[in-house]
């Protein structure tokens, strides 16, 4: 390289270094700058609205008065204009109303202050008068109280109006309301669990959480969520206490709060009405609670953070309200069919908030706050205070550095080249031995270490960890979040393994293997509990926190065992632990080998029965409810030698993919038997053949069935296909199967209706002729006389389909089903599954009513 080139290179290098340093300093300035944020500037929108309305008034919100071609919408809000969330909602409505040609009338129900029957009657009169004067195209509803009012007066005031709700915390009522095809909306996350999780991360030594809420609808909903946390294993050892504000005066509440000390935190929920029904704003109750106690106070809502509260999570309703307006516009313009819009249970938009003074008062670490937390009242940054002195000094330092760089550039260049070569070799070695994502050992590397331990005769233990729930994390939050969680888990497991002189390796996608030399694990070894605790820690996913779990399999080495054998034992133990559910572990024992052998034996018995004519069919009668006459049979598979019952061999077949083979075998046995009966001069009723969702992959099944019907001279009307609910979920394969079966004139019967896959709305689109109600629903009705069951039967009849109630064993159950107008009955009351010979006797009976 010439001297000119060297000089040019040096100048370019120096210029680059200067630019890089300037950029780095600029970045440092940006990162260290903190803006003092005023709480009201963060959480409130300045709105230009002429006037507000109390619960017995109505106002009009329209950016342009008397606009042409606008459609009026009624906004019914549970709040009053002093509510912390009111202006967010109004701002959201206005943000979408003008561009969407929508004008609003607003009724503020002020439910916290006005919830008596006389108040409700006043609102009813106001609504009635308002509806008499104006025509409304739709209704937008905010909060539980307003939605309850709308649904209670659906037929009186709001019949046939599309309704969109938001801010509803009672999920059960929200879903119930949405059964109306003209009602849908957004269910609100109350921020209770996320605020508690935030508080416990800040104060991990907490042993008691005291929640304050009143008996308003919001208070009751949030209180219910808080009390449900007691069922969450992650809160084990923490005492959850509820204080009902409506049962205390301010003085009584302050006295109770003053008694709390270390280890306790207070969670302020929706609490506005005291014992004397006095209304307190968020700022007032925040100040009262914070000043009455010496322990940290957290809040799940908006406001009060400048009045002594420490931190919490707040919800922004502006985006949600704007979304409701857009949805209503699409409905009114007939771009969207409201009956197809499902209720959304979403995480509301919002943010974590912390008071700088509150955090400092209790000595809490800002590093423990969730990412993106807004700090209120933060002091002036380093940059604002020292910037004028710091940056000139930094430039002087840069000048010195450039001089040094210029003098030693060639020396550094050689050393850098040598260092780069060493680093490259090290990186190649590291990449060969370590997983690229997590940085822990690869599977092959740890297997080599196992072989080394076996050769040296050292005792060791293996723990195979399978992380559960990562698929849901990846699908919900993205693979970047999932990868970060895996890296965190790998690092924490690595620290644990190192404590015991071991190592950790990534065994597969979401699986890790711990190798612990010199260890012999016990059945309840604390190491295994520690691994579960590490994986089960709360993991930040951005706006919220997720909990995952793990299943563990562990094994100890034995003197004559190879490394691959011990590894196989851990896989066996892991498989058995998964069968027990998540967050379980098992230590391998010789008994597991015996059980595995038994399982393999059962598989062999079933496979032998499938392949060597070891299955037979029994037939359970189906009876007309009114006449007791036989109307059909259900064909059920059994093993001839009785070695395994259907409850055992059906799951084995499903797990091993043998359902299609069993389906064909049982279908041929059934059709052959029907043909035999017909040759003997009998006229058997239709026989139901079970057909599961797993058989959809057998695309030639219907052709196979058609060939059997021809071969055994059986008409298509003599058989029915009894399909499962899961098969009825809309998909292209199922639809094609239904059409082909109908083309063959084969009746379809839905089996086990009511266990959770399909619904009455989807039932209308499925071409089944008969619906068999699951025996669990029949039994529940016999116990508690649930009116829902009667409605189900009536609605199925309205769809033009017949109903079979199965599992009927007593006369009382039969009478119940008869009273509900079930068409057919199946169960032990009329007959157990029977052999073909006994089925002939059943066919020859005039009636199957039991004697006496």
Percent of the chain with pLDDT over 70: 83
Residue 31 CB partners (closer than 8 Å, separation 6+): none
Name which residue leads in pLDDT, 730 or 465: 465
**CA neighbor of 199 nearest in space, from 271, 268, 286:** 268
**pLDDT for 239:** 94
pLDDT band at 48; cut points 50, 70, 90: very low
**Sign (positive or negative) of CA dihedral 369, 371, 374, 376:** positive
In angstroms, the CA 837 to CA 839 distance is: 5
Residue 619 has pLDDT above 60, yes or no: yes
Helix (H/G/I), strand (E/B), else coil: 826: strand
Using CA atoms, how far residue 742 sits from 83, 719, 739, 764, in Å, is 59, 12, 5, 16
Q: Is the pLDDT of residue 429 over 90?
A: no
**Above 50 in pLDDT, residue 193?**
yes
**CA distances from residue 285 to 177, 275, 376, 545, 602 in whole angstroms, order as listed:** 33, 13, 19, 28, 66
Give the neighbor-by-neighbor strand order of the sheet with 297-299. 239-244, 208-213, 264-268, 297-299, 311-315, 350-355, 374-376
Answer whether 695's CB lies under 8 Å from 660's CB: yes
pLDDT bracket for residue 36 (50, 70, 90): very low
How far apart are alpha carbons 148 and 222 in whole angstroms?
A: 17
Between 670 and 71, the more confident residue is 670
User: Residue 68 — pLDDT band, cuts 50, 70, 90?
Assistant: low
User: Is the pLDDT confidence value at 67 over 60?
Assistant: no
9 pLDDT tier (thresholds 50, 70, 90): low
**Each residue of 131-140: b (16+ CB within 10 Å) or e?**
eeeeebbbbb
Stretch 342-347: mean pLDDT = 69
Which has the minimum average pLDDT: 321-325, 421-425, 609-613, 772-776? 421-425
| pLDDT score for 333 | 84
pLDDT range class, residue 838, cuts 50, 70, 90: very high
Summarised one tens digit per residue, pLDDT across range 262-283 is 999 999 998 988 998 888 888 8
Between 570 and 727, name the one with better pLDDT. 570
pLDDT value of residue 782 = 73
- What band does 131 get if pLDDT is binned at 50, 70 and 90? confident
Measured CA to CA, the distance from residue 264 to residue 270 in angstroms comes to: 20
pLDDT at 538 over 70: yes
Q: Is the pLDDT of residue 687 over 80?
A: yes
Residue 730 pLDDT:
52
User: For the chain, how long is the longest CA-to-CA vector?
Assistant: 118
Residue 390: exposure state from Cβ atoms within 10 A (0-12, 13-18, ≥19):
middle
Model-wide pTM > 0.85:
no
Per-residue pLDDT band at 256 (split at 50, 70, 90): very high
SS3 readout for 90-105:
HHHHHHHHCCCCEEEE
* Confidence check: pLDDT of 761 > 90: no
CA distance 771 to 753: 7
Dihedral of alpha carbons 397, 403, 409, 411, sign:
negative
**What confidence tier does 46 reach under pLDDT thresholds 50, 70, 90?**
very low
Out of 89-98, 168-177, 798-807, least confident range = 89-98
| Predicted local confidence at residue 383, as pLDDT | 66
Distance CA 308, CA 661 (A): 70
How high is the pLDDT of residue 523?
A: 84
Q: Which of 59, 220, 63 is nearest to 130 (CA)?
A: 59
Rounded to 10 degrees, the C-alpha dihedral 721/727/732/733 comes to -50
Residue 779's pLDDT band, with cuts at 50, 70 and 90, is: confident
Return the pLDDT at 135.
84
Q: Which residues pair with 622 in a beta bridge?
A: 632
Summary mean pLDDT of the chain: 82
Whether the per-residue pLDDT at 416 is higher than 90: the answer is: no
Least confident of 137-141, 338-342, 464-468, 584-588: 338-342
* DSSP H stretches of helix in 86-177: 86-97, 117-133, 144-152, 171-177
Chain position carrying tokens 């590894």: 567
Residue 836: pLDDT band (50, 70, 90) is very high
Paired strand residues for 516: 461
Let me know: does 240 contact 184? Beta carbons within 8 Å.
Answer: no
What is the distance between the alpha carbons of residues 774 and 780, in angstroms, rounded to a whole number?
A: 10
Measured on CA atoms in the order 466, 471, 474, 476, is the torsion positive or negative?
negative
CA distance 504 to 486: 13
pLDDT of 386 reads 61
Instruction: With cut-offs at 50, 70 and 90, classify the pLDDT of residue 707.
Output: very high
Weakest-pLDDT range from 468-477, 582-591, 729-738, 746-755: 729-738
As a whole number of angstroms, the distance between CA 151 and CA 380 comes to 52
The residue with greater pLDDT, 18 or 821, is: 821
Q: Is residue 201 within a helix (H) or strand (E), and if so which, with residue range?
A: helix 192-202
pLDDT at 52 over 50: no
Confidence label for 676 from pLDDT (cuts 50, 70 and 90): very high
Which one is predicted more confidently, 53 or 722? Answer: 722
**Is a pLDDT exceeding 80 seen at residue 758?**
no
Confidence tier at 212 by pLDDT (50, 70, 90)? very high
Question: Residue 672: which residues within 8 A CB-CB, separation 6 or more?
Answer: 708, 712
User: Which residue did the predictor score with more confidence, 32 or 832?
Assistant: 832
Report, as an integer, the average pLDDT of 296-304.
88
Please state, for a pLDDT cut of 90, what percent of the chain lies above it.
31
Cα angle: 512, vertex 513, 519; to 5 degrees? 145
Residue 114: pLDDT over 90: no
Q: Which of 285-294, 404-413, 643-652 is most confident?
A: 285-294
Mean pLDDT of 144-172: 88
* Distance, CA of 158 to CA of 147 (rounded, Å): 12
* pLDDT(42) > 50: no
With beta carbons less than 8 A apart as the criterion, state whether 799 and 818 touch: no
Mention every residue, 6+ apart, whose C-beta is less than 8 A from residue 755: 725, 774, 776
- What pLDDT score does 34 carry? 42
The answer to which of 5-19, 75-89, 342-356 has the lowest mean pLDDT is: 5-19
For residue 341, give the DSSP letter.
P
- Alpha-carbon Rg for the chain, nearest whole angstrom, is 35
According to the model, what pLDDT value does residue 65 have?
A: 39
CA distances from 660 to 701, 722, 729, 747, 795 (A): 9, 15, 19, 20, 33
């Amino acid at each position: 390289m010439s001297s000119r080139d060297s000089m040019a290179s040096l100048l370019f290098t120096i210029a680059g270094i200067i630019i890089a340093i300037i950029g780095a300093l600029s970045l440092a300035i940006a990162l260290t700058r903190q803006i003092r944020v005023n709480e009201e500037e963060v959480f409130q929108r300045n709105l230009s609205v002429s006037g507000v309305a109390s619960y017995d008034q109505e106002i009009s919100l329209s950016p342009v008065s008397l606009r042409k071609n606008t459609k009026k919408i009624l906004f019914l809000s549970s709040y009053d204009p002093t509510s912390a969330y009111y202006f967010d909602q109004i701002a959201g409505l206005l943000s979408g109303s003008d561009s969407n040609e929508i004008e609003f009338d607003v009724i503020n129900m002020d439910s916290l202050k006005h919830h008596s029957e006389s108040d409700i009657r006043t609102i009813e009169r106001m609504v009635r008068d308002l509806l008499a004067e104006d025509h409304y195209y739709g209704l937008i509803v905010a909060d539980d109280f307003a939605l309850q009012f709308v649904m209670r007066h659906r037929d009186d005031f709001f019949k046939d109006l599309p309704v969109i709700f938001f801010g509803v915390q009672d999920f059960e009522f929200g879903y119930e309301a949405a059964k109306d095809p003209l009602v849908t909306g957004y269910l609100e996350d109350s921020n209770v669990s996320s605020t508690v999780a935030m508080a416990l991360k800040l104060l991990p030594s907490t042993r008691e959480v005291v929640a304050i809420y009143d008996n308003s609808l919001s208070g009751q909903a949030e209180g219910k969520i808080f009390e449900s946390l007691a069922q969450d294993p992650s809160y084990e050892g923490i005492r959850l206490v509820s204080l009902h504000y409506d049962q205390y005066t301010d003085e009584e509440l302050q006295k109770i709060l003053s008694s709390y000390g270390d280890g306790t935190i207070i969670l302020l929920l929706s609490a506005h009405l005291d014992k004397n029904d006095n209304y307190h704003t968020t700022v007032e109750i925040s100040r009262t609670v914070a000043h009455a106690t010496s322990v940290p106070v957290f809040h799940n809502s908006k406001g009060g953070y400048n009045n002594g509260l420490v931190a919490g999570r707040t919800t922004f309703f502006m985006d949600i309200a704007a979304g409701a307006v857009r949805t209503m516009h699409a409905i009114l313009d007939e771009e969207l069919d409201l009956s197809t819009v499902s209720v959304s249970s979403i995480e509301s938009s919002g943010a974590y908030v912390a008071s700088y003074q509150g955090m400092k008062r209790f000595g809490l670490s800002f590093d423990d706050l969730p990412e993106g937390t807004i700090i209120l009242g933060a002091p002036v940054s380093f940059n604002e205070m020292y910037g004028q002195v710091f940056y000139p000094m930094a430039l002087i330092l840069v000048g010195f550095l450039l001089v040094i760089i210029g003098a030693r550039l060639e020396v550094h260049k050689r050393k850098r080249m040598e260092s780069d070569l060493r680093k490259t070799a090290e990186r190649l070695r590291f990449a060969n031995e370590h997983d690229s994502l997590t940085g822990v050992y690869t599977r092959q590397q740890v297997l080599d270490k196992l072989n080394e331990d076996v050769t040296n005769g050292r005792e060791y233990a293996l723990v195979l960890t399978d992380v559960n729930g990562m698929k849901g994390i990846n699908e919900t939050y993205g693979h970047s979040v999932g990868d970060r969680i895996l890296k965190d888990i790998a690092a924490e497991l690595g620290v644990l393994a190192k404590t015991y002189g071991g190592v950790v390796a990534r065994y597969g996608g979401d699986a890790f293997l711990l190798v612990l030399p010199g260890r012999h694990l016990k059945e309840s070894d604390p190491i295994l509990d520690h691994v579960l605790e590490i994986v089960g820690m709360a993991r930040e996913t951005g706006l919220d926190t997720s909990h995952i779990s793990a299943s563990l399999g562990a094994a100890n080495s034995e003197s004559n065992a190879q490394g691959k054998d011990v590894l196989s034992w851990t896989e066996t133990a892991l498989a058995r632990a998964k069968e027990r559910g998540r967050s379980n572990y098992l230590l391998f024992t010789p008994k597991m080998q015996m059980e595995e052998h038994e399982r393999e034996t059962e598989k062999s018995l079933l496979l032998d029965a499938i392949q060597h004519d070891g299955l037979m069919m029994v037939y359970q009668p189906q009876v007309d409810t009114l006449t007791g006459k036989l109307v059909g049979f259900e064909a059920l598979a059994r093993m001839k030698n009785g070695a395994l019952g259907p409850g055992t061999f059906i799951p084995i077949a499903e797990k091993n993919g043998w359902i299609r083979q069993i389906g064909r075998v049982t279908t041929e046995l059934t059709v052959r038997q029907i043909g035999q009966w017909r040759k003997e001069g009998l006229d058997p009723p239709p026989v139901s053949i079970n057909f599961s969702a797993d058989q959809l992959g057998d695309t030639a099944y219907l052709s196979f069935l058609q060939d059997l019907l021809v071969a055994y001279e059986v008409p298509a009307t003599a058989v029915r296909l009894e399909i499962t609910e899961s098969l009825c979920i809309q998909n292209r394969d199922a639809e094609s199967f239904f059409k082909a079966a109908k083309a063959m004139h084969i009746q379809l019967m839905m089996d086990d209706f009511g266990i959770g896959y399909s619904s009455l709305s989807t039932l209308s689109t499925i071409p089944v002729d008969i619906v068999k109600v699951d025996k669990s629903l029949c039994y529940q009705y016999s116990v508690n006389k649930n009116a829902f069951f009667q409605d189900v039967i009536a609605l199925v009849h309205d769809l033009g389909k017949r109903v079979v109630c199965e599992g009927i064993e007593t006369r009382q159950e039969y009478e119940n089903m008869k009273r509900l107008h079930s068409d057919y009955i199946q169960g032990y009351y009329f007959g157990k599954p029977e052999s073909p010979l006994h089925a002939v006797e059943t066919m020859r009976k005039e009636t199957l009513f039991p004697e006496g």
